[in-house]
Amino acid sequence: MTCTYSRCTRPALEGGELCLMHAPEKNMGAFYTALKEQVKSVGDFNFQGYVFPGDFSWRVFDVKELVDADFRETQFKGYAYFGGAQFKGNASFWEAQFEGNVSFNGA
């Protein structure tokens, strides 16, 4: 079964309707491994609708800039840190939800 999130083609988690990236409950280690692979292998910064469990720092990507970063409809469950991030091209946080504090200091 394919994830039911709009335009997502990833497989749904076993017994669920959403994939690892869009499901609200997930294994945090598996999520961050998949996230890093997405950025490292294809330079894809489309995180639309993703649910980030726990605290998040953009530095997890090990890149110097976030190119055309799409965080529309994204949920951040913990602290979200974008301090010092360099956004190149478009960056969208339309309808993103921050359940914890967020920092864009120096971005």
| pLDDT on residue 76 | 97
| pLDDT on residue 63 | 86
- 7 CB-near residues (< 8 Å, 6+ apart): none
Closest listed residue to residue 31, CA positions, set 17, 45, 49, 50: 50
| pLDDT on residue 79 | 96
> Mean of the per-residue pLDDT values for the chain?
94
Query: Percent of the chain scored above 90 by pLDDT?
Result: 83
pLDDT at 80 over 90: yes
Instruction: Give the model confidence (pLDDT) of 26-70 as tens digits.
Output: 999 999 999 999 998 888 999 999 999 999 999 888 888 899 999
| pLDDT on residue 15 | 93
- 95 CB-near residues (< 8 Å, 6+ apart): 72, 73
| pLDDT on residue 84 | 87
| pLDDT on residue 68 | 95
- Put simply, whether the predicted model's pTM sits higher than 0.85 gets the answer yes
